[in-house]
Amino acid sequence: MSIKILTIDDSRIIRLIVAKAFESFDCAVMEADNGNDGLAIASREKPDLILIDYSMRPMDGLEVLRRLRADETLKITPVIMLTSMAERAKVLQIARLGVRDYLLKPLDLETLTNRVDRVVPLQTKTESGIKPKRVDDPVHLLVADDKPAIAEQIRAGLAGTPWRVTSADHPAQALDLCLKHDIDLVLASLSLPKKGAQLLLQQMRGYAKTAATPVLGLCVKTAATDHAHFSEAGFAGILTKPIDCEDLKTKAARALKLNTSYKYLQQRDGALVFRPASECNPDIAEAVASDLKNQLTAMVDAGSNKLIVDLSALEEPTHSVIKLVLSVVRAAGELSIRHAVAGSENVRTKCRVYEESQGWKFASTVEEAAALLK
């Protein structure tokens, strides 16, 4: 079962850092921005560990700790106090109340995970047997928007995929659906009354079931710049209306860390063959580069060290495709992976414009490229 960690801190940045630190671990990171809400979440969720900011207002970390220790169901819950250097002596003085450890701000991610691991044993998602979904696996989306046409538009755009769309017209209904069903991703309209999308996101972070569920904000294109800062508030990204379903799938795949590598990677004669698509916008390139780095690392770990970049199907490789190939070959070089590029004379000419490609081995076909690596 996933470890439950609760962060009680009035700094949104600190809460984001904590959530980021445990992304790769099998744990649910809940959060509260004040002591009262933190105590309520702790009472409801019974976390395995609580991180508390010492200097919160109006209820400081010491008072939160005292109330936890006065609660029969929470008094033995381990607590790590977050504090500044100036408050360190005060935190040491209250260790007798049951503080298991303390961490100085600014937080260092490695130190944070190491200290937490001493208190509650952490497992990576891989160690726990959690496999990432592929982009062609079923995904359950929830659209929180008071305009029904938006959800219908998304349903129509995803009709040819195994992705399912559920809709809610107000935040309370959306939260209820998230808690009752296995929702993978929430699309929340930033035009919901009374800052409904922000409220929904905040409430979701207080439940173990929804603490890690990513939320994408929806807004009209002309308001996108006004909402650019919402990534700092915890939104996984912004989608503009009218919804471009290809853009939706790309951003959803990135937010959910869906595996897309099967589309452009295959094993062939002991080598990993990378075949990029002709269309390669920055979002796609970022997702491909991330997937491929993991695949290359796994390949080396399995004892192989050959990479073939297959550009033979591209008559006119775009600048973005070549930039992606450059980053892939660079990553391969860092892992001491031998590589060759298959492509036409036009492809070779395009690639050789870049200084980094001067030492590449070129071939006309994948078979010839494989022969070069023998």
The encoded tokens of residue 165 equal 């769309």
Q: Which of left, alpha, beta for 257 (phi over 0: left; psi -120 to 50: alpha)?
A: left
Q: Looking at residue 119, what is its pLDDT? A: 94
Q: Partners of 30 in the beta sheet?
A: 6
- What angle do helix axes 61-69 and 35-45 make, rounded to 10 degrees? 30
**All structural domains of the chain:** 3-119 (3.40.50.2300), 140-256 (3.40.50.2300), 261-372 (3.30.750.24)
The secondary element (H helix, E strand) that includes residue 15 is helix 12-21
Please say if the pLDDT value at position 334 is more than 70: yes
Identity of the highest mean pLDDT range in 123-127, 216-220, 285-289, 353-357: 216-220
Residue-wise pLDDT for 183-221, tens only, equals 999 999 999 999 999 999 999 999 999 999 999 999 888
Apex CA 6: angle with CA 90 and CA 207, to 5°? 155
Residue 296 φ/ψ, nearest 5 degrees: -65, -40
**DSSP helix/strand/coil, 55:** coil
Cα 135 to the center of its chain, rounded Å: 15
DSSP state of 259: B
Burial of 221 (0-12, 13-18, 19+ CB in 10 A): exposed
Round to whole Å and give the CA distance between 103 and 118: 13
Task: Check if the beta carbon of residue 243 is closer than 8 Å to that of residue 216.
Answer: no
Write down the pTM of the prediction.
0.78
Cα 9 to the center of its chain, rounded Å: 21
Average confidence (pLDDT) over 266-287 = 76
Average confidence (pLDDT) over 33-47 = 97
* Strand arrangement of the beta sheet that strand 271-274 belongs to: 265-268, 271-274, 306-310, 338-342, 362-363
Find, among 65, 88, 92, 62, the residue nearest to 78 by Cα: 65
Percentage of the residues of the chain whose pLDDT score is greater than 70: 94
Find, among 194, 71, 347, 226, the residue nearest to 79 by Cα: 71
Average confidence (pLDDT) over 22-47 = 95
